[in-house]
Amino acid sequence: MPLFRRKEQPSAEVDFTKLPRHIAIIMDGNGRWAKKRGLPRTAGHAAGAETFRSIATYCKEIGLDYLTVYAFSTENWKRPAEEVSAIMGLLKKYLLEAIGQMERDKVKMEFFGDLSPLTPELRELCQRTREISKHYEGCQVNICLNYGGRDELMRGAMAYAKDCAEGKADPNHLTQEQFGQYLFSKGVPDPDLVIRPSGELRLSNFLLWQSAYAEFYFTDVLWPDFSKEELHKAIAAYQHRSRRFGGV
């Protein structure tokens, strides 16, 4: 068994009374899932979007407070235009459906990232989704779109510098809580558990500030194959960890 999972409990038994408050997921492995089946990469993203739908629905059912997913990074624009456009198409489809079902689902939706390079139509859909759902209480789903952790930190630093220059902030006094207000994740507690499927063991510029004390769970399962049972395994592993936040 790989070293990083040496101490993990094999059981997927979850204590639903002690769920992490916030789970963040890097939805990785769509391309490999498609390749294994002789399909185009875009088919992998379509399957990944379905997995996202079912995992998000399930997270709401079990009473999770926050789910954050990495849908498109600041670096993903380097992919072939056809693939970028397929991912944007899947997002549009998802948002249209989410808007249609909002009264029933009542999931609050937010977007982390700079939405300005998106098409006006997609930007408007994100804005509408955010606006309609902003009063919902319960589960909040954050979609990271054109998001990068470094980009977020630089934007935060620039906004803080601007506030200092305008006399709205004190350059000699800044707490971590105050700086957190300059980030896309403003108002959202840090993730307790970050999950990365597909066997890759890196953070890839995801929630760099917010995941400072997160527990990490890695699995070889590719994102389109990620199921409720896989989520249970991740949560069960989290529940067996001892979190010390730098203390003893």
Q: Are 33 and 206 in contact (CB under 8 A)?
A: no
Asked if 86 touches ligand FPP (CB under 6 A), the answer is no
User: By CB under 6 A, which span of 42-50, 150-158, 188-196, 233-241 interacts with ligand FPP?
Assistant: 42-50
Nearer to ligand FPP, 52 or 182 (CB): 52
Distance CA 203, CA 52 (A): 19
Answer for which of 23, 24, 87, 234 binds ligand FPP (CB under 6 A) is: 87
Q: Are 173 and 205 in contact (CB under 8 A)?
A: no
Q: Cα-Cα-Cα-Cα dihedral of 150, 20, 101, 105, to 10°?
A: -150
Least distance (Å) between residue 30 CB and ligand FPP:
4
Asked if 30 touches ligand FPP (CB under 6 A), the answer is yes
Residues 200-239 that bind ligand FPP (CB under 6 A): none
Nearer to ligand FPP, 70 or 182 (CB): 70
Nearer to ligand FPP, 43 or 235 (CB): 43
What interhelical angle do 81-100 and 120-133 show, nearest 10? Answer: 30
Helix (H, G, I), strand (E, B) or coil at 24: strand
Angle at the Cα of 43 from the Cα atoms of 38 and 46, rounded to 5 degrees: 155
Q: Nearest 5°: phi and psi at 97? A: -65, -40
Helix (H, G, I), strand (E, B) or coil at 174: coil
Structure tokens at 119: 């098409």
Nearer to ligand FPP, 121 or 170 (CB): 121
* Residue 28 designated active-site: yes
Cα four-point dihedral sign 32, 34, 38, 39? negative
* Residue 76 designated active-site: yes
Least distance (Å) between residue 54 CB and ligand FPP:
12
Asked if 71 touches ligand FPP (CB under 6 A), the answer is yes
Nearer to ligand FPP, 20 or 48 (CB): 48
Answer for which of 20, 31, 191, 197 binds ligand FPP (CB under 6 A) is: 31
Q: Which of 28, 151, 190, 192 is catalytic?
A: 28
Asked if 94 touches ligand FPP (CB under 6 A), the answer is yes
Distance CA 169, CA 164 (A): 4
Asked if 143 touches ligand FPP (CB under 6 A), the answer is yes
Q: Are 16 and 241 in contact (CB under 8 A)?
A: no
Binding site for ligand FPP (CB under 6 A): 27-32, 45, 48-49, 52, 69, 71, 76, 87, 90-91, 94, 143, 198
Catalytic annotation, residues: 28, 76
